[in-house]
Chain A
Amino acid sequence: MAAVVSERERVLAGSRAPLIQLAAVEKVYRMGKLDYHALRGIDLSIGAGELVAIVGPSGSGKTTILNLVTGIDRPTAGTVTVDGLRIDAMSEEELAVWRGEHVGVVFQFFQLLPTLSALENAVLPLDFARRGSKRERFERARHNLDLVGLADKTEHLPAELSGGEQQRVAIARALASDPKLIVGDEPTGNLDTVTASEMFELLERLHAEGKTILYVTHDLELAQRAERIVSIRDGVVVAA
């Protein structure tokens, strides 16, 4: 069963230096007059270079974990450490800069800027990070688009690309600053099966190059292609 972590995976996680560590993390969302406990004190460690899938039913807290790991949200209690940095203690500004340099995020609905071309979308994090010269930034973005197989569509606007192509642009954008960590929130959730599989092969290739990949999915088949599966239910880790 996918939800059951094999002995081999446990050993693998233990054998690598942890890149991500969540300790006693709680997250409470205030929804009107009610408090919603999304995470109820979880401990989780993910090693550098791992390919990890987070699975669980809707509302179990999967996306919340991704948001905490990327600094998109802050924990209500507990600590989040990524690559030795306590990101729960960083300011929004520091987090923005940190994400731009160290994390690539891929969303289910691609979230490309509609007025920018594929190339401009892919170069955007480098512009924000002001990394290298303008020419170098574009070379890097072109390289990434080439990597995802879109070298011939660099000037297309998102509206002129298919769903799969848009997600490739999103991955090229996530790779812009050559981050150690790539995080995907249902990265294939809005794609057909064939395209989803192709997209996953791309992520596997990046993993093979040494990137740490953490993704949330509803698709058990895709989850099983991960090295490790973390299973969440009602805000607690039931298997890791």
Chain B
Amino acid sequence: MASALLRKSITDLSRRRSRTFFAVATLALAVASIGIFAMPTLIDRAMQKEVTAGKLADVTVWIGGVPLEDSQLARLAALPNVRAVEPRSYFSGRVYVGARRAPIVVVGVRDFASQQAEIVRVTSGSPPRENQVLTEAQNASRGGLGAGAGDLLRVVAGDGSERLLRVTGVGHNLNEAKDVVDGGAAVLYATTGTVASLSGSHGYGSLAFRLADTRPAATRSTIESVRNELAPIAGFRGFTGLPETRAAGEWPGKEDFQKFTDFFSIVTVLALLSALVLIANTMTTLVAEQTAEIGTMKAIGGRRRQIAAVYVKTAMLLGTLGTVVGVGLGIVLSNVLIRFLGSEFFAVDVGFGVDAKIIVLSVLVGVLGPALAALPAIRRATRVPLREALDASGSAVGAEDAGDRLLRRVRFLPRTAQIGLRNAGRRRRRSLATAVIVALAVGNLLAVMGLAAAIASTTHAEWRDHGEDVKITSESGTGLYYGGADLIRSVPGVADVEPIFDAKVVLRGEDGIVWSVHSNTMFHVRISDGHWFTAAQERARERVAVVGRNIARVTGTKVGDRVRLDTAAGPATFRVIGITPSQQENGTVIFVPYRTMHAILGEGAAGTDYWVRTTVHDHAFVDRTTTRIEDTLANLGYGVSTEIEYVGEADNVAANRMITTVIAVLGFLIVAISMVGLANALTMSVIERTREVGILRTIGARARDVRRIFAAESVALAVAGWALGIPVGYLLDRFLVWLVQEVVNVEVPFVFPLANVAYALVGTVVLALVITWLPIRRAVRYRPGNALRYA
């Protein structure tokens, strides 16, 4: 008995090969989507290897251009807890990209062959000698500097002269690469000699340390010993920024990537939910069709539990097949995605990897999921009274109801379209299930498209808040400090100049950025709570702050609170007078009065930047004025780098486009799952009605008539699904916006473009027609004789 029942489970699958194929394909895609959960583990594994190979620093201190002898470096390396030290020098300047000058940072490496920490790996070509450079691998992905080995770069040196530097290959360092990805200047690697000849200074800008003990207390004490060791050295004026520490297991960009994968996981859960609906639908159809057979088994003594076991086994067999294919697909999918993201975000070549935990999860979901999804249908089918079960035809045609009557009134369509429409109405339950599948696809698509549009519009809105056309950043050591505004204002084409401080701070344990600006700043600060500071408050150097809403939410900061900011000059307490919804620096900007910060940091502090508004905002004019400012300042011996706002905006939009593209790829994965389900439903519909096709052909229907009937049916289902999908998409979009705020901590506005709704309609109908093309073609190719004999 048992073996005969098992045989039935198997033959139920082999008998309906099309259905088995689609069910397995649906399951396989669902199981494959679980593979996305393996991404954090796989990338972490690859990055840990990279951290070890690249000897990433545990602590980096910023010393602002101090010349150090070998003996002084040796003493630093011999400090307790220090395993190795690597000095770096920097030159911030500009390189010609066609007629425009783009910002670059040239990183000076003492000896490419014996780097002790923060290794710059030569990924292709050869290490640079004097007047040669390596280009950072991420420069290419940002599109800023597409130079390759052999190219000559025209760089503007600190003294304003132009130098030709030959590119000898591609180099890579995780921290520098992250700066490029975060929208910073393009990075070049050169010898410290080359950097010194460009900047005119022999000082080192940073010291990277590898430590024996990376626990916080040990790290803090090592930083103190470093400070003490440097203190007597001529030219050292204290750390110019907060020391950067890297906890064990951390790597640059890990936190951002974690947020990114968290978001991925949420979308993956949506994909899984879509797949489960599909599986439940497939199993319901499969069991419903077998109602007569269930009746027969009951009639010959089969007990409910025995009959149910047959179908549970069928479901598990389907699940096993889907799992085998899906696990393989999932491994491929996760590796392809990781390889793409690894190279896009980190310029790291991620090797092949498998996460055993995720495979176990995939097998459990893949094998047990279909059985669980089938249980309600099995329960229903085994409880149908025997007489009714024996009479069941599998595709019952019930009495006419209000819905049917409504469809019968649609008489303006061609007869073939009317038949298709009524057929969709006749199999109400299945049509509804199919429409739900389409609705999930449309809803998901509308939601991710809405989110992508929101991200794009936020980017544009944030850039619109900038009143300046150019931002001038002082280079440490030779920068323009206070009083530079008048100098810049004297350059022809400059309408207005505002000096600002832009410094990293820590607010209640969270990293933030202080923007010290005037009360009448040219930046458009929007206030959601409290108020902006007044000119009087600025004059009085009051310690007041307007805090970005995101960092305020995370730290629980409210208007009226007194907060301590850890600055490079030590802690300072501010009173929060306002909250801004601005999303600059991911909503972590803290605005404070310029003069207040000036007083806190003192005359010697580096970091004064200038916002410059030009008299005309035309791109060519802004370019020309920027070049004039750079030349004027360079001639006076000031080292500055400039950032043209319209170029920055374009880069930012391009960077966000990558994120939205990845979101769209995930959206399409969900759509693909749903479309397999739609193909399944429509193929079954065609197969079931093979006899009907035979009759139609017998009474004179041409191939195109039959095609129209089925096309009308699939279009009707697609349109119904689209209509249902609009509210689904609306709610899902709201959910995703909330999610992005909670998970990624970025505030994006809710956007639901109506144009997307129209595109979705066109896309759904076209896709539905494409998907049904194959089964319809098969239906019209049947000879009427074969079709009429089809059982």
Q: Which residues of A contact B (CB under 8 A)?
A: 67, 70-74, 92-93, 96-97, 99-101, 105, 107, 111, 113-117, 120, 123-125, 127-129, 157, 159-160, 173, 176-177
Q: Check: B783 CB closer than 8 A to any chain A CB.
A: yes
Contacts A73-B783, A96-B701, A120-B418 aside, 18 further interface pairs with beta carbons under 8 A come to A96-B700, A99-B699, A99-B700, A111-B691, A111-B695, A113-B696, A115-B407, A115-B419, A115-B423, A115-B425, A116-B422, A120-B415, A124-B415, A125-B699, A127-B414, A127-B416, A159-B399, A173-B699
Known: A115-B425, A157-B400. A96 touches B703 (CB 8 A): yes
Interfacial chain A residues near B408, Cβ < 8 Å = 117
B250 at the interface (CB under 8 A from A): no
The verdict on B397 contacting chain A, using a C-beta distance below 8 Å, is yes
Q: How far is the CB of A170 from chain B (nearest CB, A)?
A: 10
- With both chains docked as a complex, state the minimum distance between the C-beta of A35 and any C-beta of chain B, in angstroms: 16
Contacts of B419 in A (CB 8 A): 113, 115-116
A92 CB to closest chain B CB (Å) equals: 7
A71–B697 Cα distance when bound, in Å, is 10
CB pair A100–B700 under 8 Å, yes or no, is yes
Given the complex, which residues of A lie within 8 Å of B418, measured CB to CB? 116, 120
Which of chain B's residues have a CB closer than 8 A to the CB of A72? 694, 697-698, 783-785, 788
A92 touches B783 (CB 8 A): yes
Contact indicator A159/B400 (Cβ below 8 Å): yes
A105 to B699, Cβ gap below 8 A?
yes
Distance in Å from the Cβ of B395 to the closest Cβ of chain A? 10
> Which 3 pairs across A and B sit closest by C-beta, in order of nearness?
A100-B700, A73-B785, A115-B422
* With A99-B698, A124-B415 as contacts: A93 and B703 at CB distance below 8 Å: yes
Q: Which of A73, A92, A111, A116 contacts B703 (CB 8 A)?
A: A92
A74 to chain B: which residues have CB within 8 Å?
783, 785
Main secondary structure of the interface of B (DSSP, over half): helix
Are B701 and A128 neighbours in the complex by a CB distance under 8 Å? yes
- Nearest Cβ on chain B to A7's Cβ, whole angstroms: 35
Specify which chain A residues have a CB less than 8 angstroms from the CB of B399 in the assembled complex: 159
Q: Is the CB of A128 within 8 A of B699?
A: yes
Bound: A74/B785 CA distance, A: 9
Q: State whether the Cβ of B705 lies closer than 8 Å to any Cβ in chain A.
A: yes
Q: Nearest CB to that of A100 among chain B residues?
A: B700
**Does B643 sit within 8 A of A, measured CB to CB?**
no
Given A107-B695, A115-B426, A116-B419 in contact, is the A96-B702 Cβ separation under 8 Å? yes
* Contacts A/B (CB < 8 Å), 14 sampled: A71-B784, A92-B703, A92-B783, A96-B701, A101-B700, A105-B698, A114-B426, A115-B407, A115-B422, A116-B418, A116-B422, A128-B696, A128-B699, A128-B701
Contact partners of A111 in chain B: CB under 8 A: 691, 695
| Complex Cα spacing A73 to B702, Å | 16
B700:A97 contact, CB within 8 angstroms: yes
In the complex, per-residue mask of B300-315: 1 if CB is within 8 Å of any chain A CB, else 0:
0000000000000000
Which of B399, B419, B694, B698 has the most chain A CB atoms closer than 10 A to its own CB?
A: B698
Cβ of B692 under 8 Å from chain A:
yes
Per the bound structure, the CA–CA distance linking A116 and B397 in Å amounts to 12
Does B404 reach chain A (CB closer than 8 Å)?
A: yes
- Nearest chain B residue, comparing its CB with the CB of A155: B408
B400 and A128 form a contact (CB under 8 A)? no
Write out the residue numbers on chain B whose beta carbons fall within 8 Å of the beta carbon of A173: 699
B785 CB contacts on chain A under 8 angstroms: 67, 72-74
* A125 in contact with B404 (CB, 8 Å): no
CB-based contact A128/B705 at 8 Å: yes
A101 vs B691: C-alpha distance when bound (angstroms):
21
Name the A residues within 8 Å of B702 (CB-CB): 93, 96-97, 128
Q: How far is the CB of A63 from chain B (nearest CB, A)?
A: 9
Q: When the two chains form their complex, are residues A96 and B697 in contact, meaning their CB atoms are under 8 A apart?
A: yes
Q: Which of B360-418 contact A (CB under 8 A)?
A: 397, 399-400, 404, 407-408, 414-416, 418
Q: Which residues of B contact A115 (CB under 8 A)?
A: 397, 404, 407, 419, 422-423, 425-426
Residue in B407, B422, B699 whose Cβ sees the most chain A Cβ within 10 Å = B699
CB distance from B777 to the nearest CB of A (A): 13
| Cβ proximity bits B679-700 to A, threshold 8 Å, 1 near / 0 not | 0000000000001101111111
How long is the Cα–Cα vector from A222 to B457 in the complex, in angstroms? Answer: 80
CB nearest neighbor in B for A98: B700
Are B698 and A70 touching (Cβ within 8 A)? yes
Nearest chain B CB to A100's CB is how many angstroms away?
2
CA distance A44 to B233 in the complex (A): 118
The closest CB in chain A to the CB of B399 belongs to A159
CB distance from B426 to the nearest CB of A (A): 5
Q: How far is the CA of A107 from the CA of B694 in the complex (A)?
A: 12
**Residues of chain B within 8 A of A92, CB atoms compared:** 697, 703, 783-784
Contacts of B705 in A (CB 8 A): 128
**Taking the nearest CB of chain B, how far is it from the CB of A176, in angstroms?**
8
Task: Mark contacts of B503-514 with chain A using CB atoms, 8 A cut-off: 1 yes-contact digit, 0 otherwise.
Answer: 000000000000
Bound-state Cα–Cα, A129 to B441, Å: 39
Q: How far is the CA of A109 from the CA of B674 in the complex (A)?
A: 37
Q: Which residue of B lies closest to A120 (CB)?
A: B415
CB-CB under 8 A from B695, the residues of chain A are 107, 111, 113
CB < 8 Å: which of A67, A105, A127 contacts B415? A127
CA distance A100 to B783 in the complex (A): 16
Residues of B758-791 whose CB lies within 8 A of A: 783-785, 788
CB distance from B791 to the nearest CB of A (A): 13
Contact partner of B700 among A67, A73, A129, A157, CB < 8 A? A129
Across the interface, name the chain A residue whose C-beta is closest to B404. A115
Q: Which residue of A lies closest to B398 (CB)?
A: A159
A107: min CB distance to chain B, Å: 7
Q: How far is the CA of A101 from the CA of B700 in the complex (A)?
A: 7
Complex Cα–Cα for A116 and B420 (A): 11
Given contacts A115-B419, A115-B425, A116-B419, contact A100 B400 (CB under 8 A): no
- Determine the chain B residues whose CB is within 8 A of the CB of A159 once the complex forms: 397, 399-400
**Cross-chain contact B425 with A177 (CB below 8 angstroms):** no
Give residues of chain B (38-65) contacting chain A, Cβ–Cβ below 8 Å.
none
| Complex: A129 Cα to B705 Cα, angstroms | 10
Alpha-carbon distance A113/B694, docked complex (angstroms):
12
Say how far B774's CB is from chain A's closest CB, in angstroms: 18
Cross-chain contact B699 with A124 (CB below 8 angstroms): yes
Which chain B residue has the least Cβ–Cβ distance from A101? Answer: B700
Give the shortest distance, in Å, between A21 (CB) and chain B (any CB). 20
Report the separation of the CA atoms of residues A120 and B785 in the bound assembly, to the nearest whole angstrom: 24
Shortest CB distance A99–B (Å): 5
What chain B residues lie within 8 Å of A70 (beta carbons)?
698
> CA of A128 to CA of B706 in the docked complex: distance in angstroms?
10
**Contact between A100 and B703, CB atoms less than 8 A apart:** no
State the CA gap A195–B1 with chains docked (Å): 47
| Contact residues in A for B425 (Cβ distance below 8 Å) | 115
Chain A positions within 8 Å of B699 at CB level: 99-100, 105, 124-125, 128, 173, 176
Chain B positions within 8 Å of A105 at CB level: 698-699
